[in-house]
Amino acid sequence: MLKNILDNPVTLTDTYNLSHHRLKVNSDWEISHIYNRKAGMILYGLREIVQSILSIQITKAHVEEAERCAKRMGLIFPTKLFLRVVEECNGYAPISIETLPEGMWCPVGTPFAQIRNTKAGFGELVTWWEANFLKAYFPSNCATEAFHIRTYLEQKKALYGFDDSFFRRVHSYGFRAHRSLEDAYWAGSAWNLSLHQTDDFHTSRHTPHAVLGGVSAQSHKVTQQFDNEYDSFIHAIDVTYQDGQKVVALLIDTYDANRVIRECLPSLGRYAKDRGIRIAMRPDSGDVIEQAIEIYQVAKANDLLDTVSAFIGEGMSFEVMKRYDAILEARGIPLNFVAYGIGSGFYQHMNRDTLGWAMKTAYSNGKDRMKFGMVPLKRSIPGEVKVVNLAGHLVVETVDESEREGLYEVIYHHNGVGTPSIQIADEAHWKEVRDRIQQQTANQAHIILSTAIQHKIDQFAHQYLESRYPYDLAPALTREA
């Protein structure tokens, strides 16, 4: 059952991992990196995912259950390896995980995480939870999208001289559209890192340091209580006034949005203006951007621009938002007249390949290793590394190449004795991430490799091109036949 999904941490892996302890010739010491190979990003969520899994103490019962599950699938579980974890390491994985600080901009190709084992013979554990660590692509994707939206708003704000209220024109409307509560948590908390207005009420308790706001708004079920929609609008304005609030969103397409705009809006606007209430007219079906433009025209003609605005929440995404803004600009309509509610369009285009997350071996069987494939995008970096800030750019160096301080921070470390050291992803950590994001730019598109790293890669290329397969199996097979 879903509620038991974290009950046994040793089963949280891919089935092919079960065979690697037999297929390898040496698992004494290993190092792996995790990269974003396709797009730059804001790193977010990896620390909490690591914490949620590796903080669980592995027991003999866990190992025995995993062994039974493997047998049911016709597989061989590395029972001896995990019994050693239980008996020699107090039930915790003897590995170390270091990452770049969350909230940092990671250019394409950044080894933003480096994982190693801390005790000989446990190299296989370096990648055992790879599939789980890679799931942090989703919160990182969401944090990156929110960062790009914020950057866009900052640019438009500066261009037109708007005040800070301009940042509140974009709302999260995602809660009911999320695929799961876990997605709702990650998408909602990532949104709050850079943006303010949200319909995701639950995030107010997960991110208490966030600057948040919401808006009172009608829904169809509210409008349908009344014999006609005009009465529902008047009632909404009255209640908003009586409760001492200043803004209410009116859903105008329960019956006929065009009729509401043309016949109701002038008198509704004057009624709201007399009470000091701002009304956001919300078209929710049909050609919503044209309806928003007509709302502006009617409001302007009736001297109601200080009282009336438009709010679009239908079919929205960041790309649609930018397209609608371009239409508004072309028609001479101030961008701050129209606000947007972005639902599942905030993240529905995202998958692991959006950022190109992958985990690759950097050291194994006594040597530096790398994936040297036909596609440069999928090549990795060999050996133990550090990431440094050099004149404002992120550069990957070999671990002992210079005296420059590396940016990695250790988020999990266990040397096999006692309990591990784990950096907790708590409320203070979330606030640090938010504050760090506010200092980031996306100016660096690709990671920079140091001369020493590039020399290692060139050596691999040379060795590969000069290598020859030691024998041809075909004659041997023919002789045996």
CA distances from 136 to 47, 110, 142, 207 (A): 9, 15, 10, 18
State the fold for domain 2-139+350-466. nicotinate phosphoribosyltransferase (3.20.140)
pLDDT digits (tens, 9 = 90+) for 384-433: 999 999 999 999 999 999 999 999 999 999 999 999 999 999 999 999 99
Burial of 401 (0-12, 13-18, 19+ CB in 10 A): middle
The reported pLDDT for the residue numbered 477 is: 43
pLDDT at residue 476 tops 70: no
Element (H, E) at 359: strand 357-364
DSSP for residue 264: I
Q: State the CB neighbour count (10 A cutoff) for residue 38.
A: 17
Q: What is the pLDDT of residues 379-396, one digit of tens each?
A: 899 999 999 999 999 999
* 318: amino acid identity, one letter: F
d(Cα 335, Cα 154) in Å, to the nearest integer? 13
Higher pLDDT, 477 or 280: 280
CATH superfamily ID and name for 140-346: Aldolase class I (3.20.20.70)
- In the chain, domain spans: 2-139+350-466, 140-346
What's the distance, CA 269 to chain centroid?
Answer: 40
Q: How far apart are CA 109 and CA 220, in angstroms?
A: 47
- Structure token digits, residue 68: 């039974």
Q: What is the DSSP letter of 198?
A: E
Phi and psi of 27, rounded to 5°? -125, 30
Asked if residue 480 has pLDDT above 50, the reply is: no
User: How many of the other CB atoms lie within 10 Å of CB of 445?
Assistant: 10
Residues 106-165 have pLDDT tens digits of 999 999 999 999 999 999 999 999 999 999 999 999 999 999 999 999 999 999 999 999
**Which helix (H) or strand (E) element contains residue 285?**
none
pTM: 0.94
At residue 208, does pLDDT exceed 90? yes
Q: Which SS3 state, helix, strand or coil, does residue 64 take?
A: helix
- Across the range 233-260, mean pLDDT stands at 93
One-letter amino acid identity for 186? W
If DSSP codes are grouped into helix, strand and coil, which group holds residue 55? coil
SS3 for 171? strand
Is the pLDDT assigned to residue 248 strictly greater than 80? yes
pLDDT of residue 481 exceeding 70: no
Orientation of helix 137-160 relative to helix 318-330, angle to 10°: 10
Q: CB of 122 within 8 A of CB of 27?
A: yes
- Helix, strand, coil percent values for the chain (each to nearest 5): 45, 20, 35
Q: Which residue has the tokens 């599939």?
A: 131
Give the pLDDT score at 32.
98
Q: What confidence score (pLDDT) does residue 109 get?
A: 96
Tokens 């203006």 identify what position? 273
Ramachandran quadrant class, 392 (left: phi over 0; alpha: psi -120 to 50; beta: rest): left
pLDDT tens for each residue of 461-472:
777 777 766 655
> What tens digit of pLDDT does each residue of 283-301 get?
988 899 999 999 999 999 9
CA-CA distances (angstroms) from residue 367 to 29, 92, 166, 182, 315? 10, 26, 54, 39, 52
pLDDT at position 474 over 70:
no
pLDDT band (50, 70, 90) for residue 478: very low
Amino acid making up residue 159: L
161 sits in the region (left: phi over 0; alpha: psi -120 to 50; else beta) called left
**Beta 41-42 vs 105-106: how paired, if at all?**
antiparallel
**Would you state the pLDDT for residue 479?**
42
pLDDT for res 469: 67
Residue 470: per-residue pLDDT: 67
Question: What is the maximal distance between C-alpha atoms in the chain?
Answer: 99
Rounded to whole angstroms, how far apart are CA atoms 481 and 473?
Answer: 12
Among the listed residues 28, 48, 38, the one whose alpha carbon sits nearest the alpha carbon of residue 109? 38
Which is more confidently placed, 478 or 272?
Answer: 272
pLDDT at 471: 58
Joined tokens for residue 228: 């006609």
The values of phi and psi at residue 156, to 5°, are: -70, -35
What is the overall mean pLDDT for the chain? 93
Q: What is the mean pLDDT of residues 250-257?
A: 90
Q: Is 69 exposed, middle or buried (0-12, 13-18, 19+ CB in 10 A)?
A: middle
pLDDT at 332 over 80: yes
Q: Tokens 């990156």 correspond to what residue?
A: 144
Q: 375-387: buried (b, 16+ CB within 10 Å) or exposed (e) per residue?
A: eeeebbbbbebbb
41 phi/psi in degrees, rounded to 5: -160, 165
* Residue with more model confidence, 372 or 324: 324
Instruction: Please state the rounded mean pLDDT for residues 21-40.
Output: 96
What are the residues whose beta carbons fall under 8 Å from the beta carbon of 397, sequence distance 6 or more? 385, 386, 387, 388, 404, 406, 450, 452, 453
pLDDT (0 to 100) of residue 203:
93
DSSP designation for 115: E
- Closest by alpha carbon to 30, among 387, 390, 399, 382? 382
Residue 277 tokens, joined: 């209430």
